[in-house]
Amino acid sequence: MTHQAETIEISCANDMLLTEEMIDFIKTRYEKLLAGELNLVKVSAPVVVPDGTGINDDLDGLEKPISFPVKSLNGQKASIIQSLAKWKRMRLRYYHIGPGKGILTDMRALRPNETLTPIHSVYVDQWDWEKNIKSEERSLKLLKSTVESIYGTFRQIEAELCEKYSFVTPQLPEKIKFIHAQDLLDEYPDLSPKEREARAAKMYGAIFIIGIGHALSNGEPHDGRAPDYDDWSTLNDDGYYGLNGDIIFWNPALESAFEISSMGIRVDRKSMERQLEISGCQDRRDLLFHSLLLEGQLPLSIGGGIGQSRLCMYLLKKHHIGEVQSSIWPADVITQYMGKDVKLL
């Protein structure tokens, strides 16, 4: 190796090490900010759950988890989690957590069927949180106030990061804009859902799209949502369907919309029955999670997930999620970025 090549290699390693240091700062500090703002307690979470219980999520209803037999359980199958929405709600009951309090945990998942892109990886890491609420709190008002609280933590971690590393500059707007998916469709009827997201995100910088999962006036949902965790079929205070949504930033580094969180008020008995029927999933009623909910044995809640790598990627202005997490990539992707100012970990 020539001296020049060695110098370049050392410089690259130093840059990557600094990135790792900044990632650690963001992850360590942010979860404390979020827990304090929402009154959450950090708890441990599973990597696998038993099959046949309904605890694992199928997200938009299409993803399939990795499933395998467990030798010590006489071959009973278990699955790597995809999200913890249902598990967290059961955990609120297990810990006897009352209204106004909740839990926070690290979710680690593998999604082998994910289409790999600069913002999608086989490996998924997010902060999952769930909070017990009263029946009278199941409203658009609570959803919006919670979104504003979470957005405040994003602004806070950005400010602290900029203070610690002077070369980092802030980019989040002062406030987040609330938009219902139907209003987006009405405003941009000729655009696809992702194009509508991009148009609004670029205009406002940070948006919360309400109502993900229910069919809009064109007969199609803005995006898919499983029928048994978020409530997307209840009429909200604005007269639209949906007590859930997505937090989306405009990402200047990528020049695109950038989803950072999916969240919502969770289904109660009536909304889950309705959504199972709409989705043709009535066969889930007898699964453990669903039967507990239908029998009134699970607390009402609001919850969601916040992408850890996504947040780091946004705050550090990275162009590829592989710059903030160790994962696997096709050979052509590795070759594509080799020699560029994109350093895959």
DSSP string, 24-56: HHHHHHHHHHHHHHHTEEE----SEEETTSS-S
Of 108, 156, 259, 285, the active-site residue reads 259
Of 58, 128, 197, 246, the active-site residue reads 246
DSSP H helical segments within the chain, as ranges? 3-38, 85-94, 140-164, 181-187, 193-204, 269-279, 288-294, 308-315, 331-337
| Candidates 3.30.360.10, 3.30.930.10, 1.10.3080.10, 2.102.10.10; CATH matching 3-337 | 3.30.930.10
308 is catalytic: no
pLDDT tens across the length of the chain (345 residues): 554 444 444 455 568 789 899 999 999 999 999 999 999 999 998 888 777 666 666 544 445 677 888 888 888 888 887 778 888 999 999 999 999 999 999 988 888 777 888 888 888 899 999 999 999 999 999 999 999 999 999 999 999 999 999 999 999 999 999 999 999 999 999 999 999 999 999 999 999 999 999 999 999 999 999 899 899 999 999 999 999 999 999 999 999 999 999 999 999 999 999 999 999 999 989 888 899 999 999 999 999 999 999 999 999 999 989 889 888 888 887 777 766 677 776
| The pair of three-digit structure tokens given for residue 207, joined into one six-digit string | 């948006």
266 is catalytic: no
91 is catalytic: no
Of 262, 275, 301, 325, the active-site residue reads 262
Entry pTM? 0.89
126 is catalytic: yes
Of 126, 182, 261, 271, the active-site residue reads 126
262 is catalytic: yes
Could you tell me if 91 and 103 are in contact, meaning their C-beta atoms sit under 8 angstroms apart?
yes
| The pair of three-digit structure tokens given for residue 116, joined into one six-digit string | 């790999």
Please report, for the chain, the start and end positions of each structural domain, with discontinuous segments joined by +. Answer: 3-337
57 is catalytic: yes
Residue 100 carries which side chain, given as an amino acid letter? G
Task: Encode 203-228 in three state secondary structure.
Answer: HHCEEEEECCCCECCCCCECCCCCCC
**Cα(209)–Cα(310) distance, integer angstroms:** 18
Of 91, 111, 225, 266, the active-site residue reads 111
